[in-house]
Amino acid sequence: MKQMLQIYCKNNNKYKEFPVGCSLLDVYHGFNLNFPYQVVSAKVNNCSEGLTFRLYNNRDVEFLDIRDMSGMRTYVRSLCFVLYKAIRKIFPDGQLYVEHPISKGYFCNLRIGREVTEEDVEHIKAKMQAIIDENIPFHRTECHTEEAVRIFGEEGMKDKVKLLETSDSIYTYYYNLGETIDYYYGSLLPSTGYIHLFDVVKYSDGLLLRIPDKTNPLQLEEVVKQEKMMDVFKEFVRWNHIMRLNTVGDFNIACKKGYATDLIMVGEALQEKKIAQIADTIFERGTNGNRVKLVLIAGPSSSGKTTFSKRLSVQLMTNGLRPFPISLDNYFVEREDTPRDANGNYDYESLYALDLKLFNDQLQALLRGEEVDLPTFNFMLGKKEYKGDKLRINESTILILEGIHALNPELVKSIPKQNIYKIYASALTSISLDDHNWIPTSDNRLLRRIIRDFNYRGYSAQETISRWPSVRSGEDKWIFPFQENADVMFNSALIYELAVLRLHAEPILMSVPRNCPEYAEANRLLRFIKYFVPIKDKEIPPTSLLREFLGGSSFKY
């Protein structure tokens, strides 16, 4: 008699027996689940797995479609493999680089020895669709890392050879799609036939891989123009190429050769140079008769806005200006007047949680040369207080305003545009794992936030991870739509930072209990940061943006 397992399905809160060695796909069909959209992956005991994963012990299982971020990552990785296979078929000597998310898709650099034409793009798209129509299985093979390195070496995939050789793993895996081989740091779909919707369009000097809308998977995400952000990405990639650090494998090799200190110094110098250039631009605007009186700094959570604003203030002072910080937190409306979200809770992320009239009245008064009495918001009592903080500015004063709503046109619509300079600051990009595995910018910020929340706010990694979806939702609504309004974008990501964050994040992430839903994300982040050779933070300067999260900053927060 065949041995049976007891599987608990979280989607319908039912138990059922299945044979030992059954796949998640077998379990899915056995429970007769009725999902509105196609299931693409699952969590097994709170660990993300592909649908071909086999079960040999009793397990809890939760199935996911692409509305879940884990499911979407599985879908996009599989789509990237199909894109790579199509390009290998059409351009055998071509090189594909999946570089970064942009315009609600993924920018891909395709090098074929000439400019990519619209006809090329149509040919690629048609080949991808043919591969999808064939319903080819994605086959995963686990082996000794040395064997995988040999196989990728024979294929000429040096980026993967370097990544795996420096990963210190005894075993690893790779994927086959027919005769095409590749590596992805996560699960794939069972087969290409699971890909139901995609597009490839010409974008800038490369391609944009378009994906389904996570809220409505039956339609594609709308392409959003992000030219300024694209320029920031290109600048970062260009500097990586100059330093010959195209992927994490290159970075790890440099660290193992003893160049970590040099990478820290170069990364910090590049940021300081950029901050100085921004300060010079603000000053020079004044010499042309359009004096900047208000600098607005916006950016998503854990983007380093606060330290950036302090470092910018230092550079403005070297130009003879007197920066003065204004905190939006002091302009909240009275607690009972705070707007509420769909669940009836106070929505502190809303623009209208701020007293916009008072804020604009005081700004205009300051710009007229009048003295104002600045409020201080008492968060315990939920109301503004006036403690005699008087302010009058002169010709050399420049107001610095940092906050999530700083680029929203509604915030300062009564102030002349020529007197405002707008900055968008975020960890916009980082080095890629390899040519086909990008690093999501949100992962960079989430790791920063987990460390900061644990060190300074008393929150566990579990609590931070559980709040992250609502934080991201607020960013989608109140920050990202206005980022292209900026006069300049500042990339706060440092090429070396994930190697430093690893030593701080690992013990915090390892404390997340296995029996909670947040364990899946904690486990994913732990596996991800292990690709980086760890660097101790002792040589990071006290003015570094990272010090805002790690501690040891010379700035007061």
User: In degrees, to the nearest 5, what angle opens at C-alpha 385 toward C-alphas 383 and 390?
Assistant: 145
Of 15-19, 136-140, 241-245, the poorest mean pLDDT is in 241-245
pTM exceeding 0.95: no
Give the span between the Cα atoms of 255 and 165, in whole angstroms.
13
Report helix, strand or coil for 269. helix
Report pLDDT for 239.
83
> Which residue has better confidence, 344 or 40?
40
Query: β-strand 383-391 against 372-378: which pairing, if any?
Result: antiparallel
Report pLDDT for 1.
62
Give the span between the Cα atoms of 557 and 548, in whole angstroms.
8
Report pLDDT for 97.
95
Mean pLDDT score across all residues of the chain: 94
Instruction: Give me the phi and psi of 510, to 5 degrees please.
Output: -70, -15
Report pLDDT for 160.
97
Tokens of 227: 């030219």
Whether residue 242 is predicted with pLDDT greater than 90 in this model: the reply is no
Residues 6+ apart with CB under 8 A from 523: 46, 47, 48, 512
- 135: pLDDT confidence band, cut at 50, 70 and 90? very high
The pLDDT > 90 percentage for the chain reads: 83
- Transcribe 329-368 into DSSP letters: GGGBPPGGG--B-TTSSB-TTSGGGB-HHHHHHHHHHHHT
Q: What is the mean pLDDT of residues 423-447?
A: 91
Whether residue 438 is predicted with pLDDT greater than 80 in this model: the reply is yes
Report pLDDT for 467.
92
Give the span between the Cα atoms of 553 and 544, in whole angstroms.
7
String of b and e for 291-311 (b: at least 16 CB within 10 Å)? bbbbbbbbbbbbbbbbbbbbb
- 168: pLDDT confidence band, cut at 50, 70 and 90? confident
Q: What is the mean pLDDT of residues 127-149?
A: 97
Per residue in 179-223, pLDDT (tens digit) is 999 999 899 999 999 999 999 999 988 999 999 999 999 999 999
Query: Considering only CA atoms, which of 400, 424, 401, 397 is closest in space to residue 411?
Result: 401
Domains of the chain (ranges; CATH) run: 4-65 (3.10.20.30), 70-224 (3.30.980.10), 235-321+396-550 (no CATH), 327-395 (no CATH)
For residue 323, list its beta bridge partners.
Answer: 398
One-letter identity of residue 160 = K
Per residue in 330-384, pLDDT (tens digit) is 999 999 999 998 888 888 888 999 999 999 999 999 989 999 999 999 988 999 9
The DSSP letter of residue 507 is: H
The upper half-sphere exposure of residue 319, i.e. CA atoms within 13 Å in the direction of its Cβ, equals: 24
Per residue in 73-125, pLDDT (tens digit) is 999 999 999 999 999 999 999 999 998 899 999 999 999 999 999 999 999 99
**CA 67 to mean position of chain CA atoms:** 17
Instruction: Give me the phi and psi of 189, to 5 degrees please.
Output: -70, 165
Q: What is the mean pLDDT of residues 427-434?
A: 86
Query: Considering only CA atoms, which of 452, 448, 331, 341 is closest in space to residue 383?
Result: 331
> Which residue has better confidence, 235 or 530?
530
Report pLDDT for 534.
96
